[in-house]
Amino acid sequence: MEKFKPEPEQNITNKSNVESSKEKEIELKMEEFYKKHFEEGEEGARRISLEELRELKEIGITTERFLDHLCQNHGVLLHGSIHEVPDDKLRSRRNKIFASNKSAIAIMRSLYSNLNVNLEYPYFIDEENPLVLEVHTQPDKNFIKVERGFVYVVDSSGFKNIPEGSWQFIGETTEIKFTAVVETESDDFDYPVKFFDDLNVGSG
């Protein structure tokens, strides 16, 4: 029987160096895109269209990865909505504005509405608790999902992480300015979605 021959250490090191080099190149491309679209140009909230995002997608960088890069490197949080805001402010009548430091959550909320349904997904996401969206509808199975949505980029100052260590951040305010809005599309949310028609409106 042929004995297992471990891969030479030099080959492993070379592979690691190549991967590290690719990662650095990706980071540089994302930072270049950030500077081009977020730091240059007109004043006020930047609007990043699907067409502009093609520049990243064509070289293998997803919207999710780019938005995560923003959260990790530029002190921002994300708020997803199916609605396009006409000015540069997010508003809340309940004195609470919700945001996330995980782009998958914001992208999901930019495509799926919670109107008349329950959207369930974990607060803490890791290898043992992967992100799976459960959509609980009424017996009529109606729910709202859009093909294009919006992720609003906000400064993280003043937000509290609740529950601590989760992706959720809450700002106790009626309105907050966003610095940019990034357009999303259905394919940007690449996670399992399960549907249950178990909501009973008349219960309780």
Domain boundaries, the chain: 11-196
pLDDT along the chain (204 residues), means of 10: 58 64 92 88 83 96 98 97 95 95 98 96 95 97 97 97 97 96 98 94 51
18 burial via Cβ count (<10 Å: 0-12, 13-18, 19+) = exposed
pTM as predicted: 0.88
Contacts of residue 5, Cβ cutoff 8 Å, sequence gap at least 6: none
Chain centroid offset of residue 97 CA: 16
What single DSSP character describes residue 24?
H
- Measured in residues, the chain has a length of 204
Task: Please confirm whether the linkage preceding 163 is cis (ω < 30° from 0).
Answer: yes
Contact 169, 159 (CB under 8 A): yes
Q: Which one, of 162, 180, 150, 154, lies nearest residue 124 by Cα?
A: 162
Query: Nearest-5° angle of CA 140, CA 184, CA 96?
Result: 75
Structure tokens at 35: 């500077």
Cβ neighbourhood burial of 174 (10 Å; 0-12, 13-18, 19+): middle
Q: What is the 3-state secondary structure (H, E, C) of 52-112?
A: HHHHHHCCCCCHHHHHHHHHHHCCEEEEEECCCCCCCEEECCCCCEEEECCHHHHHHHHHE
